[in-house]
């Protein structure tokens, strides 16, 4: 497979230790500020988890990695380049260095498992069909599903579908693989299988991985470093092996599933009694 110009340039220039660098990243949807000064780094060859409750800004952060969104302030650097400053050509080249496992798998429902994996190879390389055939089977074999290549996505179980999506994320041998909620909706066996596959593939392929999730226990088994995001900010971080014993209030609440703590259940609003008084006055 031919290396992209972006990868070749990076290899020649001996790019820095950190594959991704996020510096003072701010972003808002209209008047609603979602990211409020995110700072984090993704070292080469490591698996980094970004944890947080729903609505904390995790997916919005991911969209900045791929250049789908432009920050209102700050930056995301990938391979030393500021993502939002790239032109269309360079942006598309950069995205070829990223593999994505979507939260709902994102498989093409009208294509077979084989054609789902072959699709990015046909679109972005000039490989022969014979070589694509061998690569597709190799990728499926790595996730234990080589004999599913003739099946349609609708014929797969939820866990199998997620494993095929994982295989497709590695189709172009990316530098960075991003997993968006890879454990959501899986039974315990499938969940454990996916978690172990993420670790094995990361080490075997020599890639870098980002796991965005709210599933703390499974992610701590396989990741190297953890960032906790809340209300658009990094509120805690640390080595995964130390998280369970941490006394940091954010980490402690997340690890022990406590309802009370710095992460509140209620969406910010004025006191409930005030709303009741307004309603009573209207009646």
Q: What is the number of alpha carbons within 13 Å of residue 53 lying toward its C-beta?
A: 17
Q: How many Å apart are CA 115 and CA 65, to the nearest integer?
A: 27
**Cα separation of 2 and 93, whole Å?**
12
> Domains, the chain, ranges and CATH?
5-97+216-282 (3.40.50.300)
- Give residue 23's pLDDT band: very low, low, confident or very high (50, 70, 90): very high
Which of the four pLDDT bands, split at 50, 70 and 90, describes residue 259?
low
Which residues touch 228 (CB under 8 Å, ≥6 apart)?
Answer: 51, 52, 234, 235, 236, 237, 250, 251, 254
- Regarding pTM above 0.85, the answer is no
Residue 174 CA from chain centroid, whole number: 13
State whether residue 213 is helix, strand or coil: strand
CB 251 within 8 A of CB 236: yes
At how many degrees (to 10) do helices 158-169 and 188-205 cross? 10
What average pLDDT does the chain have?
Answer: 84
Judged by DSSP in three states, 243 sits in: helix
Q: Residue 58 has which token pair?
A: 């995790």
pLDDT (0 to 100) of residue 262? 66
Kindly report, residue by residue over 83-100, the tens digit of the pLDDT: 999 999 999 889 889 998
- Judge whether 68 and 91 are in contact, CB under 8 Å: no
């Amino acid at each position: 497979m031919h290396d992209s110009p972006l990868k070749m340039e990076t290899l020649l220039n001996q790019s820095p230790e950190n594959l991704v660098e996020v510096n003072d990243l701010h972003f808002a949807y209209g008047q609603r500020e979602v990211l409020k000064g995110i700072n984090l780094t993704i070292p080469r060859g490591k698996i980094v988890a970004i944890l947080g409750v729903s609505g904390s800004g995790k997916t919005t952060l991911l969209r900045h990695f791929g250049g789908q969104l432009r920050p209102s302030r700050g930056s995301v650097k990938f391979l030393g380049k500021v993502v939002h400053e790239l032109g269309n050509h360079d942006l598309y080249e950069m995205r070829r260095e990223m593999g994505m496992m979507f939260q709902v798998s994102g498989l093409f429902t009208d294509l077979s498992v084989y054609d789902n994996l072959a699709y990015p190879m046909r679109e972005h390389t000039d490989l022969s069909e014979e070589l694509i055939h061998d690569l597709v089977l190799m990728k499926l074999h790595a996730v234990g599903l080589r004999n599913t290549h003739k099946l349609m996505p609708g014929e797969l179980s939820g866990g199998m579908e997620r494993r095929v999506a994982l295989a497709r994320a590695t189709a172009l041998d990316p530098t960075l693989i991003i997993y968006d909620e890879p454990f959501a909706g899986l039974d315990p066996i499938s969940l454990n299988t996916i978690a172990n596959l993420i670790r094995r593939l990361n080490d075997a392929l020599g890639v870098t991985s980002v796991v965005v999730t709210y599933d703390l226990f499974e992610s701590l088994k396989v990741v190297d470093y953890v960032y906790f995001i809340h209300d658009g900010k990094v509120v805690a971080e640390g080595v995964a092996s130390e998280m369970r014993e941490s006394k940091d209030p954010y980490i402690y609440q997340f690890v022990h599933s406590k309802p009370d703590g710095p992460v509140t259940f209620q969406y910010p609003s004025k006191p409930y009694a005030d709303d009741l008084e307004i309603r009573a006055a209207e009646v």
